[in-house]
Amino acid sequence: MPSLPDVAICEQARLSRDPRFDGLFFTAVSSTGIYCRPTCPAPAPKPRNVRYYPNAAAAESAGYRPCLRCRPELSPADGAWRRGDDTIARALKLIDQGLLAEQPLAALAARVHVGERQLRRLFVERLGAPPTGVHGTRRLLFAKQLLTETTLPITGIALAAGFGSLRRFNTTFREAYRMAPRELRRRRHPADGDVLALRLAYRPPYDFAAMLDFLRGRALPGVEVVDATHYLRVIGDADAPGWLRVGAWPRGDGEDGHALKLEVHGCPPARLLALVERVRRMFDLDADPRAINDTLSRDPRLRALVRKRPGLRLPSGWDGFEIALRAVIGQQVSVAAARTLTTRLAERFGTPLPDAFAARGLSHFFPTPERLLDADLAGIGLTAARAATIRTIAQAVVDGRVDFRAERTLDEIVERWTALPGIGPWTAQYIALRALGHPDAFPAEDLVLQKHAVGDGGRLTSRQLLAHAEPWRPWRGYAVIQLWRDAALAPRPATTPSKPRKPTARRSAA
């Protein structure tokens, strides 16, 4: 796993305010006791007063407090620490999901299969702060963002940040930042009804148009709406439905523009932080394109693709179960056909939404696993084998034989899913890629990848493709997206009609 960039690189990035390093390190100034993003617009401090830290928690553990001007709470996380199968990566994903808000450190250590003392030592050695420090900084910075960007009452912000009481929140915030939460409320933001808007930053480049294009081709009518500028979907449950919308952050407000705008309606404060982390994972906002592209560019074929489209990200899905069913339905059929079949499934078995959602193009939830356990799937175009696999997945999710837990390694994910009848390596790897955003997931049985990985007109076997892709680790998932995108945009050669052929065991990109 990477550590703090070389000091010379940090110094150059700080002086040039390079947004590619935003969140990869923080600049602390000993003369002021404040830490900043490398993009901070404030006058550059004297080099002798500068200290560099790999993350906000390390800077705060050293006694520094966040800058009010550049707002470190807006920095994207260092995705390299949160991606893959390393112990720290898996622990950080669980912290991001709020595990330490409800359970002790021992529970976190048990989930990643190490001792509590060893986990604490790993965090201190490699991140500069213990797990509890990372968790504490995370929730305080989120509270700071809500205080400065929204009109949520302070009681709601305390709940959103994981504090059990307003008194505890006020005390902790004052101790950490030397001010009361209400002092950040001096700049009031106009309310937009009961819609909450948040800024979600990323490191450039980011090809948001390509992200929307990928999601639009797979969008399920009534559950989600994707146009040229926004992604919209239903959230919550039948008892408390809501929606979220994601678009580009509007320019011209004095910000750098390297952010998406998240709008949320109907999300209880206590679930807000988890929702934000889910959106960040779905839109891959914590990726480090510089590190990813440097690795992929060692391959001549991928080098050309990365130069053409350096901002491609992993487009994950909102719901793991939804993606798993999409993967099964998409076996050996086109993207359009898979979307049609999945839409029929959702319309027939999804729970209807109140009429008020119709104005936004939303009409129903995607069906839950429980709803599909004994569902009669005849009549929507699925083969008997596909219908049986869908019911098997629903039962396995309910039983806990498969899940979408963040701490699973890629090998664990594949092993658990391929143990189910009807699930092969392609489907398991696709689930890892799109349901969990695993950066190294690689469906080697994919026909498109086999044909386009080399680019010489030939086709590799799955075994040959795996060997060919070995140098792409740990970012093989990004190579998948590059190759799929290139294939989707390639001109279609003229063909003459031929007799239909029996489908092979190979899958196409779903």
Alpha-carbon span 255 to 249, nearest angstrom:
9
CB contact set of 367 (below 8 Å; sequence gap of 6+): 345, 346, 349, 350, 351, 375
The DSSP bridge partners found for residue 22 are 25
Q: Is 182 exposed, middle or buried (0-12, 13-18, 19+ CB in 10 A)?
A: exposed
Alpha-carbon span 48 to 69, nearest angstrom:
22
Alpha-carbon span 127 to 134, nearest angstrom:
9
Alpha-carbon span 31 to 45, nearest angstrom:
9
Q: From 383, 323, 380, select the one nearest 503 (Cα to Cα).
A: 383
Alpha-carbon span 504 to 507, nearest angstrom:
8
Catalytic residues: 36, 446
Pull the structure tokens for residue 257.
Answer: 């523009």
Per-residue burial over 132-161, b if 16 or more Cβ lie within 10 Å, else e, is: bbbbbbbbbbbbbbbbbbbebebebbbbbb
DSSP state, residue 43: P
